Each structure stands twice: as structure tokens, then as C-alpha cells.
Amino acid sequence: MAIEQALVSIITPTFCSEKTIRKTIRSVREQTYPHWELIIIDDASTDRTRELLREAAEKDSRIKLLFLQENRGAAFARNRALELAQGRYIAFLDSDDCWKTKKIEEQLRFMEMHHYAFTFTGYELMDADGHLLNKLIAAPSRVTYKRMLKNTIVGCLTVMIDRQQIGDFRMPDLRSRQDLATWLSLLKKGTVAYGLNETLAEYRISGKESLSGNKWRAAKKTWFVYRRVEHLPLLASCWYFVNYATNAFIKRFISI
């Protein structure tokens, strides 16, 4: 299949996202690459999210919806979307994040040119109100399993995976950090994640996750992945965690 016609399946879990979901969907609909399907799994929202999703789906047949009857978490929602996905390529976009208009086009060209199976891009941060913060997160040229343990630099909203090369995959049933656990699982098999160092996405810092906020919760969950998912020895976990904490500080406070 020519790259110009390859279908990209975009996976978006939602939960009470009425304030942000329209902008997220608009960023997909404005893509210069037209061959995509947006699979939105609503995780039992109690606000107007479902109403807004139905309105969007009526306007664009490429938007596909599934409404869960009970809240199951992002991992379950993403895995249901992975089961439904028809595309060769899989991309992820949370319901409060956005893409630049050429994100799919440029990333697909990058993958086709080098025959890469797992890629990610740079992105920038925006505040809870959607204002860009002039904080850029660069994409290193390549990330291996060991480098990922040291630096969780790969933003989920920027990832694109070629299932023709990688094969089908699922995310572990974790309430958080399931994306990190998934990337580690793929990289542990010898896959390398290649970075396209262009700013092609916008990551929203929520009100409870300010730049100067407490990162203890994220750190705890990263430690959980080291010890309970990857089953790393204590000393190795400590070594990687120190590197992770240092790189997290640099990413949030020094990167420009």
C-alpha cells in the first residue's frame, strides 16, 4: 500500500472532556493527510462529552465512537480502540491534547523514508486554557530500552507505530503509566524508537499538573513500572530512577 493511501488509526480515550475535546478533534480534522480514522472511546463521561462527540461524528464519517457503560480507565479504553482499529499505522492523542496540521503527513514521510516501525516527535506545552507556554520538548534521534528507562522522553501524543512491522500490541491494564510500560515492552524486544525532532503536537498541562507542581505521583508510578512491570532489581531500579528524575527536571524546567 502506498504511503499516500495508508490508513492511520488515531486512538483517543475520553472522560469528562467537554472543555477540550472539540479542539482536539479539530486538530485531527485539519490534518493535511486525509487518510485517517479517529476512534474515540468514551470512558463513561458524566458531562456533555458524549453529546459533543455525537455532533462531531455526524460531521465527519472518519470519526468512530464507542461509549463504555462504566469507567474502566485509559488502558482499557485504548485497548478497545486497538481492537477496532483498521489502520496499518497507530497513533495516540488524548482528549485534551492537539496536533499541528502536518503532524501525520510529516511523520509518515519520516517513517517511510527510513522504514522505521516506531517513531515519535517533539512537542510543546500549553496551559490548562490552551495557551502555548514557549516550552519545547525535543525528540532525541533514537531511544532504546535502556535509554527509555533513564528518560521517559517519548510523549504518547506523538507516537506512531507501524503494525505491519511491529505486529498487534496491547497496553497493560494499569491506571496510569500504561504508555511507558507499552513502549518498554516494544523496545525490550529489540525495537528502537526514532525521533523526528520537529514540534508537531501540543501537550496540555492540566490545572493539577502545573510546571512547578508536585511530581511525586508520576515518580511513584514510574518506580512501580520499574519494580512491578519490568521486574528490575532494586539497585538497577535506583540507578534508572535517579536518571529519570534528573531528566524529568531538565525536561520541565530547563528545556526551551
Helix and strand numbers (H, E) in the chain are 9, 10
Q: Residues 159-212: pLDDT tens digits?
A: 999 999 999 999 999 888 999 999 999 999 999 999 999 999 999 987 544 444
| pTM of the predicted protein model | 0.93
Annotate 111-144 with DSSP letters as a single string: HHHHT-SEEEEEEEEE-TTS-EEEEEE---SEE-
Residue found under cell 525521533: 195
Q: Please report, for the chain, the start and end positions of each structural domain, with discontinuous segments joined by +.
A: 8-253
Residues 89-114 as b or e (16 or more Cβ within 10 Å = b): bbbbbbbbbbbbeebbbbbbebbeee
| pLDDT the model gives residue 208 | 47
| pLDDT the model gives residue 131 | 95
Q: Which three cell numbers stand for residue 213?
A: 507542581
Confidence class for position 69, pLDDT limits 50, 70, 90: very high
| pLDDT the model gives residue 218 | 82
Topology of domain 8-253 in CATH is Spore Coat Polysaccharide Biosynthesis Protein SpsA; Chain A (3.90.550)
Q: Residues 107-137: pLDDT tens digits?
A: 999 999 999 999 999 999 999 999 999 999 9
